[in-house]
Amino acid sequence: MKERMETGKILTDSLLHSHKYYFSELKPSDLENGLAAVYAIFNKGDEQALYVGRTKNIRQRIYNNHLMGPLTNARLKKYLIDDDTLDDIKDAESAKKYIIDNCYFQYIAVEDITTRGQIEGLLSYLLDVRYIYEEH
């Protein structure tokens, strides 16, 4: 158990010390195409982790899905629209504007699919993520 706790701290430190990508400045070419990763999206005002996810292609997931994609591909936009504390967010376009104006993300490359899933869950817990997948 102690070893896992230490591993969790190492992972969290690794993520939090990685480069911050601000959505307001993001270009697709800023991200490596085809890179498997675990990522966290933060509110830049209070540094709260809003969302933790995993992907086999960081460029596609972040840029195409979270930023440019429709609600069917952008879970964070859905959470923002449903958040009763964010009165100005009513639709996908206002959710996108919120992300661009208020958020950044950080990621760590993780090649193995099983490990990505485990790290995603662990980081969600350690970062006390605001929005998390609903269980089915």
Residue 61, pLDDT above cutoff 50: yes
CA geometry: angle 28, 115, 109, nearest 5 deg? 30
Which amino acid would we find at residue 49? A
The overall average pLDDT reported for the chain is 89
Q: What is the pLDDT of residues 104-128, one digit of tens each?
A: 999 999 999 998 999 999 999 999 9
Q: Which residues of 34-45 are buried (b: 16+ CB within 10 A; e: fewer)?
A: ebbbbbbbbeee
pLDDT score at 134: 61
**Integer Rg of the chain from CA:** 14
Asked whether the predicted pLDDT for residue 133 surpasses 90, the reply is no
